[in-house]
Each structure stands twice: as C-alpha cells, then as structure tokens.
Amino acid sequence: MWQDLDYFRTKDGLVYLVKGNHHPDNIVRAYPVYWPSETGERYHLTRGSYHKKPTDPNNNELYRIYPQYRPSKEPLSVPAVQVKDIEEHFLPRQAAIRFAHDQEQQETIWNELYKSLLEAGVPQEDVGIIGSYLVEVHRDKEDRHIKDIDFVVYGLENMKKVKRNIEMIRQKLNATAISPEHVAYHAKKYQGILSPESTLALSLQRKWPALQLAPGLLDSIRFVYYPEETPPDPWALDKKEEIILQGEVVDDTHAVFMPRRFTVAADKNYQIVIPYWGWYSPVRNKDKVKIKGVLLEDNKTVVLLSQEHYLIIQ
C-alpha cells in the first residue's frame, strides 16, 4: 500500500515523494524530489550523487522524459508514476527505527524533537522520518550531514496530541512559531505557483506544526492518516462549474493532511480540498475566507486546481 509521504526510487534512480493515500490501479501519485547527478551535492554510498530540485509546478522536465507519467485525471498537478517502473519503496517508520539507534544523532536537536513527540504521547511506532534521511542522501561526499531531519506522525488522534503539546515541544527545543522572515521567504517561494490573489502570507502564519529552530532553519512536523481514517477520494468525483464562496472556517482538523481539507460554512457547509504542498495548515477555525475553485458533483466539495483559483483570508 502506498501512503502519503512514503518515498520510492524508480529504475532510472529518480527518487519520488508520494502524495496522498489515494492512488489509481498500477499508478502512484508522486513528485520527483532527488535526481541522479554527477555534480549533485548529496551522496549515497552505492547510488552516487543526487541533486534535490525545487518542485517544478508543471513537471515539464519529468514529462519531457516520461510523457506517460502525465495524469489524465485530477489532480493534474501530480504526476502518475507507473508501478512497474518502481524499484525500491522507502518507509518512514523504518527510518525512525534507524534514527533511534543512530549514535551520531543522540546529542542533536533532532533527537530532542523525536523525544518530544514521544513525550507528547505519540507511540514510537507512529513516528516516521521523511526526506533525505529516509532515502540516505543526507550527506555529502565528505560524509558531512548537510540537511535537517523531517518527522512525520501517523494517525488523527496522534496529530491532536501533537497540536495540544506544540508549545511544550517548542519550549524543549528553544523554538518559536514560524518567524516573519520565514513567512516572507515561503510566500515569495510559492507565490509564483499559486494565485497572486491568495493571501499566502496569512496562511503561512497559521502553520501551527512549524518549529522555527533558528534564523533560516524551519522544521515542520508532518501528518499522515492511518489507512482506515482516510476520507473518501475527492478525485473520484466529476467536476462541475467554478464557484466563488465566502464563509467561515468551522473545522480545520484535516488541514495538515494531504490533500489539505477544511470545512467552510457559507450558504451550507463546503469541504475545501487543496492538492498543493505549499498550502500546509492554511487556515484556522473562525477565519473568514473567500474561495474560488471548482465545485464537484456531490455539490459540497470545492477543489482548488489552478492559478486562477484562490484562498483569501479576510
């Protein structure tokens, strides 16, 4: 089973990040993250050098090489990688087990974060590690550690435990909420991808799982549903017309999962669904919002799918 935030390697050496828990038969929805490169700054002992490329919003380079990965159904923003091309599957929980026995990490801030998650009540078996540490490209050719370590927590109830204890976790790490400087950095990074009408900076301020560890160093705890908790697949619904709605956020519980989901009370309750990575925890309860997106056939789900669609916090 493919879960959100798993990674995999295809036969050509490319390493991908899985998006969401819903995948068509023989297909995995995933973005390429680490590309084999002779001049790459990251080094794997047996597979050589890798370069991490910023997300190409249109995936032009990937589709030029593999046009068959271009999806035919929504979300069109996420490549559809064929299972037959996958050679290795990386599981975040296994990386956390490796981390717990990694003597080099025992005195690091990352170990303090790991212990803080356990202290918040998250079972050890529900903590995982994603990113470069998971796929073992977190070192350079001189064997120096060159990247932070990104944690993921599994389960809806475990997410709630972390949220209740986020201030305790920050205090233990001497961290703060996301800084104004980092808000500005991320707003600039994503504004060219997302609608310029969206109030992205305000959304970034609502990113409660963010841990500002130092100037320029932000670590965000990620969350993945247990399989049995995963809401129904919104991409199985047909699209109707574009709509604009205004209302109040009444349930932000699922805004930290992929795809991002939250409930807005307007003329009725709508479930807003956003497939983009940058919209992490983009709203909080009681926010007044204006949203443009596509209404789906259930007449209660609205999805943001293009640069013409927006999320405005009023």
* 243 shares a domain with 176: no
State how far the Cα of 191 lies from the Cα of 216, in Å rounded to an integer: 19
Q: pLDDT tens digit string along 263-300?
A: 999 999 999 999 988 899 999 999 999 999 999 999 99
CATH code where residue 290 lies:
2.40.50.1010
Exposed, middle or buried, 23 (CB in 10 Å: 0-12/13-18/19+)? buried
Q: Per the domain annotation, does 2 fall within a domain? A: no
Q: Which two tokens stand for residue 280?
A: 């992490």
19, 54, 89 - which closes a domain: 89
89, 104, 139 - which closes a domain: 89
201 closest CA partner among 187, 221, 181, 216 = 187
Which residue range is the domain that position 55 belongs to? 7-89
Report, as an integer, the average pLDDT of 60-78. Answer: 93
pLDDT of amino acid 94: 97
Angle at 131 between CA 125 and CA 137, to 5 degrees: 115
pLDDT of amino acid 258: 96
Q: pLDDT tens digit string along 1-16?
A: 899 999 999 999 999 9
* 200 shares a domain with 128: yes
Phi, psi of 51 (to 5 degrees): -125, 130
* Beta pairing, strands 48-52 & 86-90: unpaired
Q: Per the domain annotation, does 102 fall within a domain? A: yes
Q: Per the domain annotation, does 1 fall within a domain? A: no
200, 224, 248 - which closes a domain: 224
pLDDT of amino acid 44: 86
The DSSP call for residue 291 is E
Q: pLDDT tens digit string along 78-110?
A: 999 999 999 999 999 999 999 999 998 999 999
* 148 shares a domain with 134: yes
300 closest CA partner among 232, 253, 203 = 232
Which pLDDT band holds residue 55 (cuts at 50, 70, 90)? Answer: low
What proportion of the chain, given as a percentage, has pLDDT over 90? Answer: 80
State how far the Cα of 15 lies from the Cα of 86, in Å rounded to an integer: 10
Could you tell me the strand order of the sheet in which 127-130 lies? 127-130, 150-154, 222-224
Number of domains in the chain: 3
State how far the Cα of 95 lies from the Cα of 16, in Å rounded to an integer: 16
**H/E element, 129:** strand 127-130
Q: pLDDT tens digit string along 150-195?
A: 999 999 999 999 999 999 999 999 999 999 999 998 888 777 777 8
The torsion of the CA quartet 202, 208, 209, 212, rounded to 10 degrees, works out to: 70
